[in-house]
Amino acid sequence: MKVFIADDSEVVCERLTAMLSELPGVEVVGKATDSSEAIRSIRELHPDAVILDIRMPGGSGIDVLRAIKKDDYAPRVIVLTNYPYPQYRKACMDAGAEFFLDKSTEFEKVTELIKQLI
């Protein structure tokens, strides 16, 4: 399974990459730190899953989500955010996210969700 990480925190990207690299059959194929780079890279790399932050330079993760879900090849999306507010959850789920997680309390759930998606 090819996974793409879109988050402006290098620490978060490194931690997710380390966690996912331990899963057999999972490859992190790319990373982006801003929204335009994320959209461009996701469209180019065609990952099976995207781990997406809401707050990023150049636009929001919700903008990225809306853009990539319109494509013919739309990956599964796990939103992983420090802003787990109901209005963001609703906006993300309405835009097509499969999962919505709080970074501060549900970070470790990412690997379980990726295992389910394989």
Which pLDDT score, from 0 to 100, does residue 42 have?
A: 97
Query: Could you tell me the CATH number of the domain that includes residue 53?
Result: 3.40.50.2300
Q: Is the pLDDT of residue 94 over 90?
A: yes
Residue 99 lies in a domain: yes
Which pLDDT score, from 0 to 100, does residue 118 have?
A: 85
* pTM, rounded to two decimals: 0.95
Cα 98–chain centre separation? 10
Helix runs in the chain, H state only:
10-21, 35-45, 61-69, 86-95, 103-106, 109-117
Residue range(s) defining the domain that contains residue 61: 2-106
Residue 116 lies in a domain: no
Task: Tell me the C-alpha distance between 4 and 84, whole Å.
Answer: 21
Residue 111 lies in a domain: no
Phi-psi region of 39 (alpha: psi -120 to 50; beta: other; left: phi over 0): alpha
Residue 113 lies in a domain: no
Summary mean pLDDT of the chain:
95
Residue 26 lies in a domain: yes
Residue 75 lies in a domain: yes
Give the pLDDT confidence of 35-71 residue by residue, as tens digits: 999 999 999 999 999 999 999 998 899 999 999 999 9
Number of domains the chain is built from: 1
